[in-house]
Amino acid sequence: MLPLDVFSIKNNESMWLGPARTLIQALEVMRQNGAGSYFIFFHQTQHKAMYHVDEHGSVRPVAESQGAREQVRR
């Protein structure tokens, strides 16, 4: 099992996009899927990191809020 899983978030639902070996690979999966909200699940630490991709393909981390954490749990 690869250490990371990448998910997109659309319409308050998460959709698995695939695994990644590194953070760089995970970010590239997000870029390839276009603008929107995403999260990466780190298996070793059980951490979920939220990201946003803009219309130019720039990826930025999103500060977690209670709402974002609840959305990821679904």
Predicted confidence (pLDDT) per residue in 17-56, tens digit = 999 999 999 999 999 999 999 999 999 999 999 999 999 9
- pTM for this prediction: 0.81
Pick the residue with more confidence: 50 or 64?
50
Whole-number Cα distances in Å, 19 to 27, 45, 52, 67: 11, 16, 18, 25
